[in-house]
Amino acid sequence: MNSDDIPDDELLSKINEIEAPIVAEKDNASALLNSIVSQLEGIYWEKDTTGKIITNVEIANSLEEEIEELKKKNESDTELIQLGLAVNIIHHEFANSVKALRNSIRVLQGKAAIDKTLLATYNNLSTNFSHLDHYLSLLTPFSRRIRTEKEDIATNDIFLFMLDVFSGRLRRHNIECRRTGRFSQSKICSYRSVIYPAFANLVDNAIHWLKQSDNENKIIRLHIDSAGNMFVSNNGPCVPLQDQERIFDLGFTRKPNGRGMGLTISREVLKNAGYSLTTCGPIDEDMTVSFKISPISTGEQNA
């Protein structure tokens, strides 16, 4: 049949019938392309520090992770603030008690000079009180700055302070605390209120693990190299490889009933003072564990 023989209305209907699926397919394709274009327009990308292209989806995921980390850090900071407030209260109350005890011991000293039967009691109280007084001096840097500016600190003074604070525990557990020749003669420029507590924490940890060791010659050694890196080493149990970074995470500890806060606090405080705190390979053959306190360069600190 010739198209000329088909009525116009029927011919138009046939044409529409043929065109309908084509138009529908075209509309679907256009909608799909518009959707793709819209999605492509919404994609943002940039290069990371290694030159790899990262998209806005990856950036969003990274931001979510950072937000979660910041939330955790905020919780940790809140806990540390509460701990600091508690330490401050304890220090204040302890200081008041020490003053009262000091006065009472002076009175007892006078009586012991007259009544010799009190002499042994006086000597015992005086010795134990001196030990507690040393711990009070250790708390002092946490509650207030000894000095607000950096000062030259003889590293040998750090060693003597450790002996002063821990002499009783060192004797009790048959542990020897030593320092190298360089450590006995060097100086650093830093905050005494930061350095002393950091070393005290590392020595305290060393004592805890050494007292559980079967090693007959238990040793803690303080050392400083020519670059100003300071080391606290001991010959106790090794730190497992998987724990060498985790021990600085807040709440992580292998100590029974430990809170896992000491190394975290020490690392943060040292960082603010311009030092890093890490574990490192033993610096001497007879040592098994070494903690390294290193000066941070200006570029590294601002990174």
Domain regions of the chain by residue span? 68-144, 150-303
Q: What 3-state class would DSSP assign to 278?
A: strand
Which residue type is seen at 108? L
∠ CA(250), CA(253), CA(255), 5° rounding?
Answer: 145
Q: How far apart are CA 80 and CA 251, in angstroms?
A: 11
Q: How far apart are CA 133 and CA 122, in angstroms?
A: 16
pLDDT for residue 124: 84
pLDDT for residue 262: 86
What φ, ψ does residue 278 adopt, rounded to 5°? -140, 165
- Asked if 292 and 280 count as a contact pair (C-beta separation under 8 A), the reply is yes
The label of the residue with tokens 């005086």 reads 126
- Asked if 90 and 132 count as a contact pair (C-beta separation under 8 A), the reply is no
Task: State the DSSP H helix or E strand holding residue 182, giving kind and residue range, or none if neither.
Answer: helix 181-185
Q: What 3-state class would DSSP assign to 54?
A: strand
- E strand map for 90-224: 151-154, 175-179, 187-190, 218-224
Task: State the DSSP H helix or E strand holding residue 45, giving kind and residue range, or none if neither.
Answer: strand 45-47
pLDDT for residue 287: 92
- 150-303, superfamily in CATH? Histidine kinase-like ATPase, C-terminal domain (3.30.565.10)
Q: Which of 146, 191, 145, 140 is nearest to 165 (CA)?
A: 140
* Per-residue pLDDT of the chain in tens (303 residues, 90 and over written 9): 545 566 667 766 766 777 777 777 777 778 888 777 776 665 556 665 666 666 666 767 777 888 888 887 777 677 666 666 666 666 667 777 777 888 888 888 888 888 888 888 888 888 777 767 766 666 655 554 455 678 999 999 999 989 988 888 999 999 999 999 999 999 999 988 889 989 999 999 999 999 988 888 999 999 999 999 999 999 999 998 899 999 998 788 888 877 788 898 899 889 989 999 999 877 788 899 999 999 997 655 555
